[in-house]
Amino acid sequence: MPRPEKPITWDGPLADLAQALRDLRWRAGRPSYRDLEERTRHSRSVLADAAAGYRCPTWEVTHDFVVACGENPDDWRPRWEFARAAAGKDRPVERKPRRPRGEAVRAAKQRASVAADMPVSSSAPPDPELARTPMQFRYQLRTLRAWAGNPFPNPTHRVDSSNLWVPSSTMYDALDVKQSHLPALRVVRAIVTMCTGDAEQVERWLDVWRAINMAEYQRANPPPPGLGRDPWAN
């Protein structure tokens, strides 16, 4: 029995391409990499490496992988070009995903504890109102993207019907749960719009963002004594 593939535990266009190739293989009936080797001009190790997510495969490998699994490679070209641009053309990428060390380990445990306390529904989108801190808000936003099927296939995205475009790299940064500050409001609008397409959901997420933002502001900038009281009152 072939060994199971290692899970992709990091984010980014390269990870998205690798996961998409894995999903494609499942839709095709999960042929082994030996079977794919026989259908293509590439070795099984090269094909498996294309779906590992550590580095960007060549277009020839991606093309033949997709054809061998019965789909149109033309539909995959933009996704591959985006991953190649993110990885750096002809530039090697770190073979192993970054693993937390020191302070990052403790932060990862804290995020896991927060996540364990948050209920997850397979049908309804994640609830932004469960978040009380910027890190929790980012976690819920990241969960929303997972619930929506991990979109962001293109380098830039239009926010609503406006002419404002947001780079995917900015969106990925907004999902980084290691950051202790809120992502930009316009980026939250873009992500929730893309994941739900529901104006009410968008406004709900923005309302929670504003509430957390004001709480953080007031915590860092406490009001002066007597604010809101009548200065002429006895």
SS3 string, 44-110, reads HHHHHHHCCCCCCCCHHHHHHHHHHCCCCHHHHHHHHHHHHHHHCCCCCCCCCCCCCCCHHHHHHHH
CA distances from 179 to 64, 110, 111, 227 (A): 39, 13, 11, 32
What's the confidence (pLDDT) of residue 92? 37
Buried b (16+ CB within 10 A) or exposed e, 144-161: bbebbeeebbeeebebee
CA distance 69 to 194: 28
pLDDT for the residue numbered 227 = 75
Q: What is the pLDDT of residue 233?
A: 61
**What DSSP state is assigned to residue 126?**
P
Token duo for residue 151: 């979109």
**Predicted pLDDT at 95:** 38
Read off the pLDDT of each residue in 66-91 and give the average, rounded to a whole number: 83
pLDDT-derived band at 155, boundaries 50, 70, 90: low
Question: Mean pLDDT, to the nearest integer, of 96-114?
Answer: 50
Q: Which range among 54-68, 156-170, 194-208 shows the weakest confidence by mean pLDDT? A: 156-170
Among 49, 16, 1, 6, residue whose Cα is nearest residue 171: 16
- In order of 37, 74, 95, 162, the CA distances from 138 in angstroms are 41, 34, 27, 24
**pTM of full prediction above 0.85:** no
- DSSP letter string over 4-44? PPPP--S-SHHHHHHHHHHHHHHHTT---HHHHHHHSSS-H
Closest to 126 in 3D by CA, of 135, 137, 116, 134:
137
| Chain centre to alpha carbon of residue 80 | 17
Which residue did the predictor score with more confidence, 92 or 36? Answer: 36
Amino acid at site 230:
D
What rounded mean pLDDT belongs to the chain?
79
For residues 119 and 127, which has the higher predicted lDDT (pLDDT)? 127
Q: What is the mean pLDDT of residues 16-43?
A: 91
Lowest mean pLDDT among 57-71, 108-122, 209-223: 108-122
Share of the chain above pLDDT 90, in %: 32
* Domain definitions of the chain by residue range: 13-87, 103-220
What backbone phi and psi angles, to 5 degrees, belong to 187?
-75, -40
Question: What architecture does CATH give domain 13-87?
Answer: Orthogonal Bundle (1.10)
Specify the range with the lowest mean pLDDT, choosing from 65-69, 73-77, 103-107. Answer: 103-107
Q: How confident is the model at residue 11 (pLDDT cuts 50, 70, 90)?
A: confident
Whether 138 shows a pLDDT value over 60: the answer reads yes
pLDDT higher for 38 or 120? 38
HSE (CB half, 13 Å, CA atoms) of 96?
A: 3
Cβ pair 65, 30 in contact under 8 A: no
> Partners of 100 in the beta sheet?
none
pLDDT at 36 exceeding the cut of 90: yes
Q: pLDDT value at position 96?
A: 40
Q: Give 114's contacts (C-beta < 8 A, 6+ positions apart).
A: 135, 136, 139
Q: Look at residue 113 and tell me whether its pLDDT is greater than 60.
A: no
